[in-house]
Amino acid sequence: MTDHRPGADTANGASATAAAPDVAALAQAWAARPGDRAAFWRWLAALTDTGDIAAVSDALAAYRRHRPLDDEILRFTARFLEHQGAGPLALKFLKHALAEGGDRTATLTAMIRVARGQGDLDTAHEAFRHASAEGLADPDLLCEAAQLFRYQLGDRDRAMALLDQALSLAPAHAPALEAKAHDAAARRADPGEVRALYARALAAAPDDPALHLNHALYLIPRGVLGAGWAAYEHRLDPRRGPTRTAVYADTLPGWQGEPLTGKSVVVLPEQGLGDEMMFGHHVPRLAGEAARLAIGCDPRLVPAYARAFPDAWVEGFVDAMDGRHRRRRLPRLEQAVAAGHWPVDHAIPAGSLSRLYWPDAAALPAWPTGYLGADPDLAARLERQLPPAEGRLRVGLSWRSGRVGRATTPAYIGVPGAARVMRAVGGEACQFVSLQYGADAAETDELARLAGVPLDVVAGVDLKQDIEANLALMTRMDVVIGPGIATQMLALAAGRPTWIVCTLPQFWQFGDESERPAHIPGLRVFGRPTGSWQPVLDALGAALQAAAATGDPDAPPAPSSAPSPSTPSSPAS
């Protein structure tokens, strides 16, 4: 709806809706001069803006009948395919570009980036070895390789050496400076060091929306909310790419905190379900302030929001890709607005409410919890599929993000860590129920086997797509445990006691790294600043034992001789 990008001119309706070039006319212009590479470039650029992979493929085939595809055209096409989510095909084009010669540095840099994104570490590493053997030392290439070694290959020393080399070649290379800042933050280095690196990066690339967003993701978890929320607005910049942001293309007036008495407000949806659930904690307050409220949300959330806010207009968004942009619409509401049936005074993305409602980490209001209720009939039906708890503490459990698959990653406890906790408590004290979306029978069976404790799974329910079932199951849990992802945000909205197991700091902590953040009632945080998960998992197991013994998820654990946080161990041990 409104173009909420930083600096967008909503007063005169300017947005990312400029007239598209006439693709047919450009095709005819090239056909009249089929040897004209510049004419082909104009046609190809217009085609990629449509997002039509088949049409781009046909154009390339037509061009090849007259001239060979050079490395620049192949890299451009690969970038287009990468943005369309066709990474494997993009890699094929880059391999073809490498065979064509030309700018091998640019091609190998792109290969490392795309292969990393696809998890194809062999191809990424091979591309770097080619570059090293050829003596190619370019800051962009070195920075991409540093990310590969730091985050995929686990070789931080090599990564830092590559970044230092990149900065020796280009001291103002913003990606290398940002990578150094990210590493310093992960090491919990002196904040002054991190701030200085970000300041240098931002001075070098002041118009880079991804850099501003990453800076926000450093500031906000540490409680620097004023500057953090301002930088966070760059999440809406369509230059980040169609798979990372959406464009609300209509012109509705934004909201800057003016009084809402007698006014109507549209809350626009965020990018992912977890973000929608976290920023959804603003909606009860907004509903109490505005005369009329419309809620745009993920279609999976429509029934829950409609129950919670029966007087609001609730509509699931519809996305449409046009190649360069992802257009996010609320078609029924837009029709009602155009017809004059639902006049709108203000519209604002849910996350942008934060700069108005959560401006100061020292004076955060308590998050509303328990405002999303489940369908009681569905909750009762799903509970009948579970074995009786028989006095045990019923624990809803997840152990990873659905985006990382079954592979164990340092950011999540994974199957080995979850098994350790289940084993420490036992099946006589707790009944464990899987709330892990995306887990198949092989994964849940492996967890139960490693734990030696049963893990109950409700058959026939897709917990990722069926949010109604997910919410219904949560209402039958005594405590919900897992990483700081959508599942736990949903549990808080449902008013369930929620324990989050995570690396520190997390976005929603806003500088409060205590076990019980004051601004989030019902939450306990079992956090790992650095190092091994072992002490965190031991503390979690002790807390579960105390909760099971008392029937109270808030009960403190009994004193114990827990191992020192520096004790090295695998979560599976």
* pLDDT for residue 294: 97
Query: What burial letters (b/e) apply to 491-520, b meaning 16+ CB within 10 Å?
Result: bbbbbbbbbbbbbebbebbbbbbeeebebb
CA-CA-CA-CA torsion for 103, 107, 109, 115, nearest 10 degrees? Answer: -170
> What pLDDT is attached to residue 1?
41
- Residue identified by tokens 């019923």 is 394
Confidence of residue 515 (pLDDT cuts 50, 70, 90): very high
Distance CA 560, CA 545 (A): 12
Burial class (CB in 10 A: 0-12, 13-18, 19+), 338: exposed
Residue 50 scores a pLDDT above 80: yes
Question: Rounded to whole angstroms, how far apart are CA atoms 494 and 479?
Answer: 11
The residue extents of the domains of the chain are: 23-207, 208-361, 376-550
| CB 342 within 8 Å of CB 275 | no
Which pLDDT belongs to residue 21?
A: 72
Q: Which helix (H) or strand (E) holds 524?
A: strand 523-528
Looking at the predicted structure, is the pLDDT value of residue 334 above 70?
yes
Report the length, in residues, of the chain: 573
Element (H, E) at 266: strand 264-268
| CATH class for the region spanning 23-207 | mainly alpha
- Of 163, 138, 134, nearest in space to 148 by CA: 163
Whether residue 315 has pLDDT greater than 70: yes
Torsional sign, CA 120, 126, 132, 136: negative
* pLDDT tens digits along 223-276: 999 999 999 999 999 888 776 777 775 567 889 999 999 999 999 999 889 899
Q: Can you list the positions of beta strands (E) in 292-374?
A: 292-297, 313-316, 318-321, 326-329, 346-349
Asked if residue 293 lies in contact with residue 287, where contact means CB atoms within 8 angstroms, the answer is yes
Whether the full predicted model's pTM is greater than 0.75, yes or no, is: yes
Dist. CA 388–CA 349, nearest whole Å: 42
438 alpha-carbon distance from chain centroid: 16
CATH of domain 376-550: 3.40.50.2000
d(Cα 144, Cα 459) in Å, to the nearest integer? 43
pLDDT of residue 12: 30
Contacts from 441-449 at CB under 8 Å and sequence distance 24+?
A: 443/406, 443/415, 446/415, 447/399, 447/415, 447/418, 447/419, 447/422
β-sheet bridge partners, residue 431: 394
Q: How confident is the model at residue 9 (pLDDT cuts 50, 70, 90)?
A: very low
Work out the pLDDT band at 410, boundaries 50, 70, 90: confident
pLDDT tens digit string along 436-473?
998 999 999 999 999 999 999 999 999 999 999 999 99
Confidence band, pLDDT 50/70/90 cuts, at residue 19: low
Q: Whole-angstrom Cα distance, residue 92 to residue 78?
A: 8
* Low-confidence winner among 18-22, 220-224, 230-234, 428-432 (lowest mean pLDDT): 18-22
Strand-pair category, 479-482 with 498-503:
parallel
Residue 124 is which amino acid? A
Lookup: tokens for 108: 């190998």
Neighbouring C-beta atoms of residue 122, cutoff 10 Å? 8
d(CA 269, CA 118): 28
Q: Given a cut of 80, is residue 559 above it in pLDDT?
A: no
Strands 455-456 and 346-349 turn out to be: unpaired
